[in-house]
Structure formats: C-alpha cells, structure tokens
C-alpha cells in the first residue's frame, strides 16, 4: 500500500506539470492579442496619414491664392507706376519750360533795370547847367560815355557846371572830367545895327568840353528821378516788374 501511494503522487506531479506550462503559455500569448487599446495608435496614425496631406494641400492652395493676389497687386502697381513716371516726365518738362521762361523774363527785367533813357539824362544835364552856361551838344560815345560841349560866361561858371554834374543820380561822379576850357569870341550876326550904335564887339566866352559816364545804379532805385525827368514809360515797366516780384 505504501508503494502505491508513492506512485500516485508521482503521477499527479507529472500530470500537474503540463497544466502549469499550458497556463504559462496562455499568459504569454495574451499580450499579443487585439484589444481596443492596442488599436488606438493605428487609428490615430491612419487619421494623421490622411489629414496631413490634406492640410498640406490646403495650405499650398491658400499660399498659391495669396501669391496670385500679390502678383496682381504688383502688376497694378507697376501700371500705376508707369503712368506716374509718364506724368512725372511731363511735369519735369513743364518745369524746365517754366524755368526757361522765368530765366528769359529775368534777363529781360535785368535789361530794363539797367536802362537810363536818353531823354531823362539830357533833361537832367540841362537842369544842372547854371544860367550863365549854354549847352550846344550832347554826344554819346562808347560804354555809356558822353561829351557835353558849349560855352560859359567864365571859368568859374564852367567849373560850377562840372560840380553840379557830379551830383547827378545818373552820372558816375568820378567820371566827370573837364576836357577843354578856353577863351573864345562869341560872335553874333546882326543884320542891322541901331542908328546910335556904330559897332558891336564880340563877347569873350569860355568854350568847354565836359565828359562823363553813366553809373551802374539800377533803374528800380531811380524811379523818383525818372518820374521827375518825365521818363514815365520806363517807370511804368519797372513798377509792373516789381509787382510781379521779378525785380525788387
């Protein structure tokens, strides 16, 4: 009886051993099975694999539309720039024409501003001659130079005439020069003498020549003097140029 029990126990141990191995195999195989938690990464990966290309395509489409819009804006701006450049060229041309016209007008104004009318100069010379001085001629030479010829009662009268010419607003003071002054007979032709007069002797006078030059004083500074001497035409022109701001 004793030996049977021993064998029985051995057999049970041998039978129990394979069952343990089977349970171990089940435990090892179970993690390789397909549960819902194990499928989640696959689903997420599939979604990402589909959505990512779609997102990239959509982004490319948006960028392409933006590029087309920018290109259209650039094209419009280039057209506007071309028009503006054409207008700018026209403006530059008009500005050049205006500048040329202003230069011509300024040059003309400068000419008017340097003019001293002969009528005003002659009248001023006559007004400065004292009563005992006679002016026979006033001749214009080169570079606004003049020669006055005539006769005077005395040397003192001629010298006084020289001094008055130096005070003229039209004449350069340092240029006034007494060229000649000499005694001469002043003869007067008389067709018939009075009965009580037998003979008339020639008067002794001083024949003179005085030279001078006009000064560089602008005509715009001599308006009052020109008006006084009757040069109203030049005065009107100068005042018109002053009103337009071309000359001061």
- Please identify, among 73, 91, 114, the residue that sits at the C-terminal boundary of a domain: 114
Q: What is the CATH number of the domain that holds 167?
A: 3.30.1360.100
Residue 89, in any domain of the structure? yes
The residues, ordered by sequence, that sit 6+ positions from 115 with a Cβ below 8 Å of its Cβ are 219, 234
> Are both 226 and 165 inside the same structural domain?
yes
Number of domains forming the structure of the chain: 2
C-alpha closest to that of 184 among 159, 209, 147: 209
Is 132 within the bounds of a domain? yes
Is 224 a member of any domain? Answer: yes
Q: Are residues 101 and 64 in the same domain?
A: yes
Predicted model pTM: 0.58
pLDDT string in tens for the chain (248-residue length): 444 454 544 555 555 455 544 444 444 444 455 555 566 666 766 676 666 667 766 777 788 778 878 888 888 888 888 888 888 888 888 888 888 887 887 787 778 788 888 899 999 999 999 999 999 999 998 888 999 999 999 999 999 999 999 999 999 999 999 999 999 987 655 556 565 555 556 678 999 999 999 999 998 888 899 989 988 888 888 888 888 887 77
174 token code pair:
């340092």
Residue 36 lies in a domain: no
234 with 143, same domain: the answer is yes
Which residues, in sequence order, are CB contacts of 186 under 8 Å at separation 6+? 151, 202, 203, 204, 205
What's the rounded Cα separation, in Å, for the pair 159 and 186? 19
Does a structural domain hold residue 29?
no
Task: Name, in order, each residue with C-beta under 8 angstroms of 164's C-beta and a sequence gap of 6 or more.
Answer: 128, 129, 130
> Is residue 87 domain-shared with residue 184, that is, in the same domain?
no
Full domain range(s) for residue 153: 118-188+202-244
129 and 227 share one domain = yes
Instruction: Pull the structure tokens for residue 206.
Output: 């001083």
């Amino acid at each position: 009886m004793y030996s049977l029990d021993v064998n029985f126990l051995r057999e049970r141990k041998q039978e129990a051993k394979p069952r343990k191995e089977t349970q171990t195999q089940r435990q090892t195989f179970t993690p390789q099975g397909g549960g819902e938690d194990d499928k989640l990464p696959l689903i997420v990966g599939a979604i990402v694999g589909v959505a990512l290309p779609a997102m990239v395509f959509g982004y490319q489409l948006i960028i392409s539309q933006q590029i087309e819009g920018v290109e259209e804006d650039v094209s419009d701006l280039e057209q506007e720039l071309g028009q503006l450049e054409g207008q700018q060229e026209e403006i530059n041309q008009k500005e050049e024409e205006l500048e040329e016209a202003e230069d011509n007008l300024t040059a003309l104004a400068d000419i008017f501003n340097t003019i001293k009318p002969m009528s005003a100069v002659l009248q001023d010379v006559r007004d400065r001659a004292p009563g005992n001085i006679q002016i026979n001629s006033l001749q214009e030479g080169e570079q606004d130079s003049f020669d006055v010829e005539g006769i005077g009662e005395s040397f003192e009268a001629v010298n006084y005439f020289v001094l008055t010419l130096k005070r003229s607003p039209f004449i350069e003071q340092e240029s006034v020069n007494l060229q000649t002054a000499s005694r001469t007979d002043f003869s007067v032709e008389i067709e018939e003498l009075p009965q009580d007069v037998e003979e008339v002797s020639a008067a002794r006078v001083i024949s003179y020549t005085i030279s001078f030059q006009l000064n560089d004083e602008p005509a715009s500074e001599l308006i009052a003097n020109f008006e006084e001497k009757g040069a109203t035409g030049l005065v009107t022109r100068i005042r018109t140029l002053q009103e337009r701001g071309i000359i001061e």
